[in-house]
């Protein structure tokens, strides 16, 4: 009898021990917020925090600044500064050299590729090409991926934006879902990478909010994005479980409006005042759904923007436009006179980069270095250009070291353009026409690379710092606060003012 009792007690103890060993981290002992919210405003210059400050309400951007911690000297430390790269870099903690998103579009093996293009998936929510998207072109993991790994994939991660790349890349590879706006359908969709059909709540939301016109370049698009984010927060019950969830939200309309009307257009002012109101409503929603102090939010941007060249010249500030894509035909015509029979040696221009026709160069048995040097000499005759950099030979280029480092971090050897054009200050990669009122971005200059970074909520003390911080520091900082491993290609550092 004693033997039987001993065996029963032994088996019970063993079973309990095994249960403890294999127990899932439902009740996390490490203190973490209920939810992480990443809010990225497309094309938001750092100075927009203050330029419109007297018109902001008390509960929006002012609340973030008055209660949160602002990193006032936060910079992008790579070139080029464009949307897809910015979103990928914020959430991976690294640059194009390692996460592989070399631009909104780039070339690989001679083929032009959109950053989120994936023909192996199917659209979900419409039958349009806008649904052939996934994060598979991105090589690195994100904050959300690391959070899910740290909780044995019990944390839930979602991304929302009007632009597909702004929803997909931040959410990461293992996200539960990413939703973006299909302009032809007039509502939010996803792809089969995440699911086979839209959840009922998304169908209901779309039915109630489908638009007849493309709202991406309007203030209505700003509000629609926040409405979708709030619906997702509510319907998926984010922040209501025993592990930390994550929601990434990107506001795309500000970029489209800025490109069209410039940094000082009335439409841009209206956009940021609407953004401020919607942030106030969003924070109030989080307060009610999750509780004040229970969520950790950061506000940042994927890039900034330069002032319109005509606006600057009107005030006697040197400026010009340089649409590089318009130079391609002229460059090819010049090269054809030198390399007889070799037409279209430059196949594309984007993000201040020139892509060479490697297939043709190989077929014609031409010297790629001679072609590069000829292009350099041709372009350097233009006073709007400061340097033309051969990315593959960057160590031998006579440029300042800080620029060299940014070029290297922004260079993916398989995907980036062969030559990078670095323009003089206030040379806009846009139109040079006298009636041009818009703007653009892409350069290293502070107007493009100086972006806001404000932390708010859980464990964040009020304050600010002018100490240098970088876009690649955001992911390591969030991960340090959560006590989880940083993304697998992260090169940034936790910001001491936030983590100490």
User: What is the set of active-site residues?
Assistant: 83
Whole-angstrom Cα distance, residue 43 to residue 254?
6
Instruction: Report residue 461 as tokens.
Output: 């003390």
Q: Which residues contact 253 (CB under 8 A, 6 or more apart)?
A: 42, 162, 215, 216, 217, 218, 219, 221, 222, 225, 271
Angle value at C-alpha 182, between 180 and 184, nearest 5 degrees = 175
Q: Where are the beta strands (DSSP E) in 289-344?
A: 295-300, 320-321
Q: Are 398 and 92 in contact, with CB atoms under 8 Å apart?
A: no
SS3 state of residue 291: coil
Q: Residue 355: name the closest of 421, 430, 445, 442 by CA.
A: 421
178-198: buried (b, 16+ CB within 10 Å) or exposed (e) per residue? bbbbbeebbbbbbbbbbeeeb
Q: Are 405 and 411 in contact, with CB atoms under 8 Å apart?
A: no
Q: Are 382 and 76 in contact, with CB atoms under 8 Å apart?
A: no
Whole-angstrom Cα distance, residue 230 to residue 252?
16
């Amino acid at each position: 009898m004693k033997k039987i009792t001993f065996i029963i007690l032994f088996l019970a103890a063993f079973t309990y021990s095994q249960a403890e060993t294999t127990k899932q981290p439902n009740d996390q002992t490490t203190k973490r917020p209920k939810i992480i919210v990443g809010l990225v405003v497309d094309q938001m210059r750092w100075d927009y925090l203050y330029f419109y400050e007297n018109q902001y309400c008390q509960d929006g951007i002012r609340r973030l600044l008055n209660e949160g911690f602002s990193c006032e000297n936060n910079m992008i430390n790579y070139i080029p500064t464009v949307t897809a790269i910015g979103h990928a870099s914020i959430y991976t903690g690294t640059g194009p050299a390692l996460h592989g998103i070399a631009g909104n579009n780039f070339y690989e093996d001679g083929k032009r590729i959109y950053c989120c293009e994936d023909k192996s998936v199917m659209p979900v929510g419409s039958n349009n090409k806008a649904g052939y998207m996934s994060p598979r072109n991105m090589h690195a993991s994100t904050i959300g991926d690391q959070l899910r790994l740290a909780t044995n994939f019990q944390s839930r991660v979602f991304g929302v934006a009007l632009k597909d790349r702004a929803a997909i890349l931040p959410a990461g590879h293992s996200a539960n879902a990413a939703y973006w706006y299909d302009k032809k359908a007039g509502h939010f969709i996803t792809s089969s990478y995440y699911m086979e059909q839209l959840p009922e709540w998304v169908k209901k939301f779309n039915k109630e909010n489908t638009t007849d016109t493309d709202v991406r370049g309007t203030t209505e698009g700003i509000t629609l994005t926040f409405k979708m984010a709030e619906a997702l927060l509510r319907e998926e019950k984010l922040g209501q479980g025993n592990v930390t969830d994550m929601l990434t939200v990107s506001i795309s309309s500000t970029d489209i409006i800025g490109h069209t009307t410039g940094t000082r257009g009335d439409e841009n002012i209206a956009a940021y005042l609407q953004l401020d109101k919607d942030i106030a409503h969003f924070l109030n929603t989080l307060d009610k759904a999750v509780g004040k102090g229970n969520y950790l939010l950061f506000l940042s941007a994927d890039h900034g923007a330069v002032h319109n060249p005509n606006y600057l010249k009107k005030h006697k500030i040197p400026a010009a436009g340089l649409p590089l894509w318009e130079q391609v035909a002229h460059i090819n015509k010049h090269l054809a006179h030198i390399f007889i029979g070799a037409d279209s040696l430059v196949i594309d221009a984007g993000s201040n980069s020139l892509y060479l026709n490697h297939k043709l160069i190989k077929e014609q048995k031409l010297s790629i270095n001679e072609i590069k040097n000829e292009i350099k000499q041709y372009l350097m005759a233009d006073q709007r250009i400061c340097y033309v950099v051969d990315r593959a030979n960057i160590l031998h280029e006579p440029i300042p070291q800080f620029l060299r480092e940014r070029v290297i971090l922004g260079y993916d050897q398989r995907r980036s353009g062969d030559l990078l054009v670095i323009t003089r200050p206030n040379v806009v990669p846009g139109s040079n026409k006298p009636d041009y009122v818009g703007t653009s971005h892409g350069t290293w200059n502070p107007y493009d690379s100086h972006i806001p970074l404000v932390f708010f909520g859980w464990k964040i003390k009020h304050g600010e710092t002018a100490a240098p911080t970088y876009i690649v520091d955001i992911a390591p900082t969030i991960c340090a606060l959560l006590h989880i491993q940083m993304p697998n290609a992260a090169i940034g550092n936790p910001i001491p003012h936030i983590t100490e």
